[in-house]
Structure 1
């Protein structure tokens, strides 16, 4: 799990080209909802070691968040081969995050 926001926001074309499962997380370091969701996200990601997790700081005028129509933080977008499979906005429990992760990457046996 990434704990820091990416230094550089990837382009939509870069994200669309990512192979395999990816969790794309939009938020901001000062956002209380985002900070509160971190333990839930971490707990769910623990069952998926090695899964790509991109944590992108979002805000007005940020093109990647706008391309996904992000309005509230945190917004979690679950991708498989660059295609959106599931989305959670302001997740309230690790089970919901885990269920969405299972849709893009089954847990290793």
Structure 2
């Protein structure tokens, strides 16, 4: 599966998906960024291996508003949104094995527990 270009216009459709249970990996990048260009093939190969997940790219130059909403300060930054919850966000290009491990960890999350923690945080403050 190829990656989707994520913009502020299609963000909700991509991240929420038809059933609200989407699992989206987002690569925040820019054309001038060397590490971003190095990470791109790793991200693309992962998208081919994990075709049940949505892989999206955000060009931080073209989508400054979206990058600002995620408080992107360094690129590349990888973010994972699962069932509408940001479960991971970290700058830096990952090697292929580390990305595969991260995807496995995100798959293993108990989303019922994650949603309960989010609800508790919202109620507390």
Structure-2-length-normalised TM-score: 0.66
**Which structure has the larger Rg?**
2
Runs of 4+ displaced beyond 4 Å = none
Q: Is 1:65 the counterpart of 2:67 in the alignment?
A: yes
The structure where helix makes up a greater share of residues is: 2
Cα deviation, 1:54-107, whole Å, max 9, x if unaligned, reads 11110398111111111111111011012111123122311221122123336x
Q: Is 1:103 the counterpart of 2:101 in the alignment?
A: no
Q: Matched residues in 2 for 1:95 and 1:33: separation?
A: 17
The 3-state SS of whatever aligns with 2:37 is helix
Higher relative contact order (CA 8 A, sep 6+): 1
C-alpha RMSD of matched pairs (Å): 2.7
Change (3 A) 1:93 1:61: closer
Q: Is 1:9 the counterpart of 2:7 in the alignment?
A: yes
Cα deviation, 1:10-46, whole Å, max 9, x if unaligned, reads 2597166343200111111232111101122233333
Q: Runs of 5+ in structure 1 lacking a partner?
A: none
Q: Is the 8 A contact 2:8 2:65 kept in 1?
A: no
Q: Matched residues in 2 for 1:91 and 1:31: separation?
A: 11
Q: Is the 8 A contact 1:75 1:89 kept in 2?
A: yes
Structure-1-length-normalised TM-score: 0.74
How many equivalent residue pairs?
103
Q: More deviation in 79-88 or 69-78?
A: 79-88
Q: Runs of 5+ in structure 2 lacking a partner?
A: 109-125
